[in-house]
Structure 1
Amino acid sequence: MIADVRTCAEASLPGLAKRATAEPLWVVTTALNVWTGQTQSESIIGNTPQCDAALKSARVYLESRGRE
């Protein structure tokens, strides 16, 4: 599961870097939204079906660990 999330994050980096370079205001807005809790940080990288599955599995696992 960790490897899947890492692969997803690594695959997302080039697109995020390109967007950050092209849209500096997006970076600031997104950072503030994550910091204030308006946006979940994983939603920034979870824009592909592979990422959705990996992040969902990780979320389910982490939530189940918090209920013990």
Structure 2
Amino acid sequence: MNVPLVTDPDGRLLSISPALPGRAHDLTAARSHRIIRICERQGIPILADRAYLGAGPWVTTPLRPRLRSALSCG
């Protein structure tokens, strides 16, 4: 089960969306419930985990880890 929710910086629950099947990707769930669009319109920045990479400029996610090249020496 995938239940998208929104909290404030202190962890207080602000919004909870209807559940989706567990196979639904987090970003798909957020988009289907328009969470990103609503936060953008309200001027609320989004801090999310790496499941939200590519969600757009309004969403801040951790940086992707740099992969070492298999051909590098050292």
Same fold (TM over 0.5): no
Query: Of the two structures, which has the highest relative contact order with CA contacts closer than 8 Å and spacing of 6 or more?
Result: 1
TM-score (norm 1): 0.30
The structure in which a higher percent of residues are helix is: 1
The structure in which a higher percent of residues are strand is: 2
| Structure whose CA Rg is larger | 2
TM-score (norm 2): 0.29
